């Protein structure tokens, strides 16, 4: 039976990252910090929204609904996991790692500055030049970690498509997928929660952009 698995906010967040990450890389490589910083602030707002949506959103988007820990991952590998829709236990670990790496990347970027000190993150003025330089170096190094995680994510999608004959991409576009027998359907969050979460995330990102 085909059921709704991913709500629109979760899918919008996912595909926004797909666009923002390469754009952020390109603007950094081309030293277009006038674009790089706004993209980073947009990413900050998205991550804040995802955190709130992971607490109050639809059932498949909530962290409590898919973050189960190592034991659940082992059960999944052994074929003992209970039928469910959304992220499987291994996918959940990938999601958490990716969100953590992105949060570190954005957090470091807020305090980073370029070599000439002509452009900097909105919070760079809160630390001294040496600290800002160190955070800039960590910001660049952490991107390599992010690339590894993205590579593993893409490899997993390819593995599921070729070996397990399971399409993970289309459901993230349409929101619907085949549900295993006995799986609970997605419980959709009301629209007002999305509006509040989006407004709170946008306000927080704007506050950081303007400067505390």
Looking at residue 49, its pLDDT comes to: 98
72 and 47 Cβ atoms separated by less than 8 Å: no
- pLDDT band at residue 110 under the 50/70/90 scheme: very high
**Residue 190 predicted with pLDDT over 70:** yes
Give the domain extent around 39: 2-210
Number of structural domains (the chain) is 1
Cα–Cα distances in Å, from 128 out to 115, 120, 135, 146?
14, 12, 11, 26
Most confident option among 30-39, 62-71, 91-100, 101-110: 101-110
Q: Which helix (H) or strand (E) holds 177?
A: strand 176-178
d(CA 174, CA 43): 23
d(CA 209, CA 205): 6
Looking at residue 83, its pLDDT comes to: 67
**Residue 118 predicted with pLDDT over 70:** no
Classified as helix, coil or strand, 5 is coil
* 3-state per-residue secondary structure call for the chain: CEEECCCHHHHHHHHHHHHHHHHHHHHHHCCCHHHHHHHHHHHHHHHHHHHHHHHHCCCCCCHHHHCCCHHHHHHHHCCCCCCCCCCCHHHHHHHHHHHHHHHHHHHHHHHCECCCCCCECCCHHHCCHHHHHHHHHHHHHHHHHHHHHHHHHHHHHHHHHHCCCCCCHHHHHHCEEECCCCCCCCCCCCHHHHHHHHHHHHHHHHHHHHCC
What CATH number does residue 34 fall under?
1.20.950.20
116 and 130 Cβ atoms separated by less than 8 Å: no
Looking at residue 40, its pLDDT comes to: 96
Model confidence over 49-100: pLDDT tens digits? 999 999 999 999 999 988 887 777 777 777 776 667 888 888 888 899 999 9
Looking at residue 116, its pLDDT comes to: 66
**Residue 27 predicted with pLDDT over 80:** yes
Tell me the mean pLDDT in the region 11-36: 95
Helices (H) and strands (E) in the chain, counts: 8, 2
**Residue 141 predicted with pLDDT over 90:** yes
d(CA 69, CA 127): 36
């Amino acid at each position: 039976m085909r059921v709704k698995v991913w709500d629109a906010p979760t899918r919008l967040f996912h595909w926004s990252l797909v666009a923002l990450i390469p754009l952020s890389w390109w603007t950094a490589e081309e030293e277009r910090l006038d674009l790089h910083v706004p993209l980073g602030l947009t990413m900050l707002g998205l991550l804040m929204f995802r955190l709130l949506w992971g607490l109050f959103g639809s059932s498949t988007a909530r962290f409590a609904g898919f973050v189960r820990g190592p034991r659940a991952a082992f059960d999944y590998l052994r074929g003992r996991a209970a039928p469910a829709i959304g992220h499987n236990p291994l996918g959940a670990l990938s999601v958490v790692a990716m969100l953590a790496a992105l949060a570190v990347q954005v957090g470091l970027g807020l305090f980073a500055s370029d070599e000439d000190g002509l452009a900097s993150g909105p919070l760079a003025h809160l630390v001294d030049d040496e600290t800002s330089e160190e955070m800039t170096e960590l910001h660049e190094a952490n991107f390599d970690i992010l690339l590894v995680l993205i590579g593993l994510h893409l490899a997993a999608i390819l593995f599921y498509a070729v070996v397990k004959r399971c399409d993970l991409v289309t459901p993230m576009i349409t929101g619907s997928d085949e549900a295993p027998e006995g799986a609970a359907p997605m419980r959709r969050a009301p629209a007002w929660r999305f509006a509040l979460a989006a407004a709170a995330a946008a306000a927080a990102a704007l506050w950081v952009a303007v400067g505390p």
